[in-house]
Amino acid sequence: MRTFIFPLLLMMLLASGCASRGPLGSYCGPLPEGGAVSAIAADAVDCLSSLYPPGHTSVHLVPAKDVENGFAQAFERGLRTKGFTLLPAATADAVAVAYTLDALFEKGEKSAWYLQLRISDGETGGKSIARSYTETGQPEAGQSRTEIEFKRS
């Protein structure tokens, strides 16, 4: 009996680490060429503005380790241009946005890119939007939108 309970407790403990309180952090892998980065950032801004009204929404971008990456700069610039207010720290009434931008594969000169936005707005818990892009930054097919429940403590 003891050999059954210990692995079960260990598994429950490890599984509880999967529940998060919000978008944990941003990640930016090696970036595509400059024009592709701008196109991907513009598409991300369009996605956010279709969900939240610019001019009435404050956004906190969860920084990546490389805060000065080209995507973060283009994304911030696009959000400001669209009318969003950017906050340096998360607040209860701000929408927190974490992102992951990375290469899906590289074949010779051709690459595909993947962008995931994890959005926590405090009301519905959160959303995850994911989309893949060509090497020039053009969206491929549709996008995946998922409602996420973030655990609050």
| Average pLDDT value for residue range 57-70 | 87
71-84 tens-digit pLDDT: 999 999 999 999 99
SS (H, E, C) the chain: CHHHHHHHHHHHHHHHCCCCCCCCCCEECCCCCHHHHHHHHHHHHHHHHHHCCCCCCEEEECCCCCCCCHHHHHHHHHHHHHCCEECCCCCCCCEEEEEEEEEEEEECCEEEEEEEEEEECCCCCEEEEEEEECCCCCEEEEEEEEEECCCCC
pLDDT higher than 70, residue 135: yes
More confident residue, 48 or 5: 48
The per-residue pLDDT for 118 is 94
| Average pLDDT value for residue range 51-64 | 92
Can you give the pTM of this predicted structure?
Answer: 0.75
